[in-house]
Amino acid sequence: MKKALPYIAIIGTAAFIGNLLVIGLGFGMYWQTLEPMEFMRQFGVQFPLLLAPTMGILLPAIIATVAMVVNTKGQPAVRKNWVIALVGLMIACTITSVYHLPTNFGFMDMKYPAEVAASKLNLWLVLHWVRAVFVVVAAIFSVKAFKNSNLLNNY
């Protein structure tokens, strides 16, 4: 299992980028074409369907990245890259926890008037792309960590 961890971290992080692209370029752009009240109605149906696959991709990536930070204690240069990858994932998760999830629940409850919903969706998408950038950084540094580690010599 220990040999599989870097692959899980890299593939999971890369898959999460793909997931974010689908959400932003697919759903996000579509949601912006809808009237705000219709958007919130549809969001209430669509968000729960997006949540399970997103968590199914993200959790293994985070767990494997944490494990790689722990497992590379004796390799400071490699560990630094894994730490940067983990920080990128954690920043993305923090943005999600602080803004996206509370706003998502507000959308699902149709808590916002139309004007507020539209502006919240616009900010939601801006912050979505900010977290996507941090996940791209995480992916780059996880590949860099793997490339610089002695794991390549073991295969």
Quick: pLDDT tens for 112-123: 999 999 999 999
Instruction: List the domain boundaries for the chain.
Output: 5-149
What predicted TM-score, i.e. pTM, was given to this entire model? 0.92
Average confidence (pLDDT) over 63-87: 96
Contact 13, 137 (CB under 8 A): no
The residue assigned the tokens 């240069």 is 77
For residue 57 the two structure tokens come to 């991709």
Per-residue pLDDT for 151 more than 70? no
- The reported pLDDT for the residue numbered 1 is 65
Given pLDDT bands bounded at 50, 70 and 90, which one contains residue 149? Answer: confident
Q: How far is CA 124 from CA 24, 60, 92, 127, in A?
A: 10, 25, 13, 5
Average confidence (pLDDT) over 81-110: 98
